[in-house]
Chains A and B, each alone.
Chain A
Amino acid sequence: MRRILVAGSLLALAGCAAAAPGNAPAAAQARPIEPALAEATFDTAWSIIHRTFWDTTFNGVDWQATRDELRPQARAARTDAELRVIIQGMLDRLRMSHLVVIPGDAAEALASDRAGPAEHPGSAGVELRWADDALLVTRVMAGSAAEAAGVRPGWIVESAGEMTEARLREALSRLPASSDPRRYASFASQAMESAFEGAVGDTVRARFRDGQDRRTDVSIVLREPQGRMATFGNLPPILARVETERVPAGDGREVGVIRFPIWLPVVSGDLDRAVDALRGTAGIVVDMRGNPGGVSAMASGFAGHFVNRRDTLGTMITRRDVIHFVINPRRVSPDARPVVPFAGPVAVLVDERTASTSEFFAGGMQALGRARVFGVQSAGQALPSLMPRLPNGDVLLHAVADFVGPDGEKWEGAGVVPDAVTPPARAALLAGRDPAMESAVTWIRSQAGAAAPR
């Protein structure tokens, strides 16, 4: 559950990721709580939503009646965990993303599911996606523990540690029947990915079906993951990094690829340097697959590397204010050289785990005509949010605004729809191919000589 908890806690000044349904409350350890504190915590959570939820109809929910109904239950809660279930139940009634109660002691919560000490997190270095009713290995990071153990893209995961396919399906069956299929897919892959994490030196015993569909048991000794642990505000420590690579365009040129797992300010400089290093390429692919969001103010700042005139990536609408996410062209390099924003074609890759700030970026760039989007429909969890602490120390991730694209597009619920739908396919992965990336590169190649973007 560690990944899911982390995803659930990703927020920002305005923007962030949302969690799979029903995750956070169940994952934390139970600690006794006094009735008065339970009541104060519940009241505070209710009041924050009452005061800040931008939709004053509360999506059709009688918010006052909700309080009256659930408050006695909150007072009767004997543990933090019981209280979280009640508060989360209250939040779920609003049927919007970015409404999650996160256990206050993140380290304790994360440790509740076999995670190692936060100072020495270990990872297998695999990415998984739910496709064709199976969990596919979609990526094995270079130099990772999984690569060293011989795991390959396209393999199907049957179990990892105590997480078996049967256990996973049982967990999936407990999700609300109305859950979006994207939530199922996201929940499944994140839950299994979390079984490939722990402390450096831990061994994860996993069973796969390889390229020939043979059952293969593999022991993976977890390694320190690439990147650095970073925090921002009330967020728990999260792994942040920026990956840059050049891939052949197929016509003698190269295409640049930028990939990062979360929008955290600590990587702002790395992103600037990544774009700067790829200025001479035929085009840039921004791979947002699996990126659940982060600090939303970064999205318009990053977009400024690709847009040569002041524009708007989207607009945040709170109860009181209408705030535009303004793109200012980035006309100076990290080492203080005058530059022009990257003018070549830009492709953005998305999938069902692309959420929040990543949707602001992908959808906004698409709407502006500055990027073409490849992959599968994104999460549709695109609301700016904040995360204050509650009296019991838990953190309330709560949406504070609606968000619309440059032309009024709404991605909450719907998600960003790719211009070219390119889901992961096992055969392609086994052949060492990445369909979404290939489509993006092919498109970039086709844009040679095209008119400069706006």
Chain B
Amino acid sequence: MKVRTNLVRTLVLAGAASALAAAPARAQELPAARDIVNAYVNAIGGAEALGRAQHRHMVGEVSMPAAGMTMTMEIWQARPNKMTMVMTIPSLGEMKSGYDGEVAWSSNPMSGAQILDGAELEQALRQSDFDANLRFEHLFPTMETVERTEMAGRPCYRVRMVATNGDEAFGCFDVETKLLLTMSSRMESQMGVIESTQEFQEYKDFGGVKMPSRTLMNVAGQQMVMTVKEMDTNPIPDATFALPAEIRALKQ
């Protein structure tokens, strides 16, 4: 479940990603990754719109047809890097994770509470960064345009991105709309290297920023569909990001 949890966080941020600073494109005939990413940022609303919000609150749903499960998902974020996510799964309970600015953690009924470290900590830090979209060059120092191809029935530019810890992702940006169409990635986790693919669909305007309201995901061979129901940028009380009691106990 942690894999899915992390992936969902990745997806949410990927949907709002912006301002990727790119290394020079190798292939002359292809646009530079920086230009592709900048065009994407403009297409989803522009850096100014993305930088305006201080808080972000999203309500969504994730379904797993092969398991016959649908779970609700709620994410709260605040600048610069606080985040709390709660996924509620029928007959299971709440799977929670977050970062309060100092401690990255996860807690769920099946595997208990945990303070994240190693690759999972790095991933959590990256995903909790409210401005990850505006500091992409910091998160992914290596980026290059790989090819012009077709994904989800649309022509797109495929950009390779490598994080500081070696995590690698490929995003495909629509040649015409400039929107992000697909993302595939390999993530390090305790469970091993997890491959995932996402296809972003049905971009909608959420407070001046376009985000995919529907995402098809394949994580470790499991198909999932994530749907964004609501999103707002209203103020969020700081207590929302406080460590849960079980995580505080772990710190003692």
Contacts and interface: CB of A to CB of B under 8 A. Distances in A.
A265 B249 contact: no
Interface string A49-71: 00010000000000000000000
Given A324-B191, A326-B190, A336-B246, A268 B93 contact: yes
Q: Mostly helix, strand, loop or mixed at chain B's interface?
A: mixed
Given A232-B92, A326-B191, A338-B252, A320 B110 contact: no
A297 B5 CA distance: 14
B208 to A, nearest CB: 38
Interface string B172-203: 00000000000000000011111100000000
Contacts, number: 110
Contact of B190 (A266, A324, A387): A324
Interface in B50-70: 64-69
A272 B113 CA distance: 12
A320 B220 contact: yes
Given A265-B92, A318-B221, A295 B110 contact: yes
B93 A387 contact: no
B89 interface: yes
B111 interface: yes
Given A328-B114, A336-B248, A386-B67, A269 B221 contact: no
B189 to A, nearest CB: 9
B109 interface: yes
B104 to A, nearest CB: 14
A395 B67 CA distance: 10
A231 B91 contact: yes
Contacts of A120: none
A301 B113 CA distance: 10
A13 B67 contact: yes
A108 to B, nearest CB: 17
B67 A233 contact: yes
Contacts of A272: 112
A234 interface: yes
Q: How large is the interface on A (under 10, 10 to 19, 20 to 34, 35 or more residues)?
A: 35 or more
B220 A323 contact: yes
A331 interface: yes
A125 to B, nearest CB: 24
A265 B195 CA distance: 26
B92 A386 contact: no
A36 interface: no
Given A233-B67, A304-B111, A265 B250 contact: no
A388 B249 contact: no
Nearest to B112: A330
Nearest to B219: A321
Interface string A6-32: 000001110000000000000000000
Contact of A321 (B1, B67, B194, B252): B194
A332 B67 contact: no
Most buried by A among B110, B114, B222: B110
B110 A301 contact: yes
Contact of A233 (B69, B114, B193): B69
Nearest to B247: A332
A300 interface: yes
A266 to B, nearest CB: 5
Interface in B137-176: none
A333 B195 CA distance: 33
Interface string B218-252: 00111000000000000000000000011011101
B91 A230 contact: yes
Nearest to B196: A321
Contact of B65 (A336, A388, A400): A388
A32 to B, nearest CB: 25
Nearest to B252: A338
Given A297-B1, A321-B195, A338 B111 contact: no
A298 interface: yes
A389 interface: yes
Interface in A325-352: 325-326, 328, 330-333, 336-338
A320 B221 contact: yes
A264 interface: yes
Contacts of A149: none
A13 B89 CA distance: 13
Contacts of B190: 310, 324, 326, 328
A265 B110 contact: yes
Interface string A201-221: 000000000000000000000
Contacts of B64: 13, 233
A389 to B, nearest CB: 7
A319 interface: yes
Contacts of A315: 192
29 contacts: A12-B67, A13-B222, A232-B90, A233-B69, A235-B68, A264-B91, A266-B91, A266-B92, A295-B110, A297-B1, A297-B110, A301-B112, A320-B221, A321-B195, A322-B192, A322-B193, A323-B191, A326-B191, A331-B113, A331-B250, A332-B246, A336-B245, A336-B246, A337-B249, A338-B252, A386-B66, A386-B222, A387-B66, A389-B65
Interface of B: 1, 3, 64-69, 89-93, 109-114, 190-195, 220-222, 245-246, 248-250, 252
Given A266-B91, A320-B220, 8 more contacts: A12-B67, A233-B67, A233-B69, A315-B192, A321-B192, A328-B111, A338-B252, A388-B66
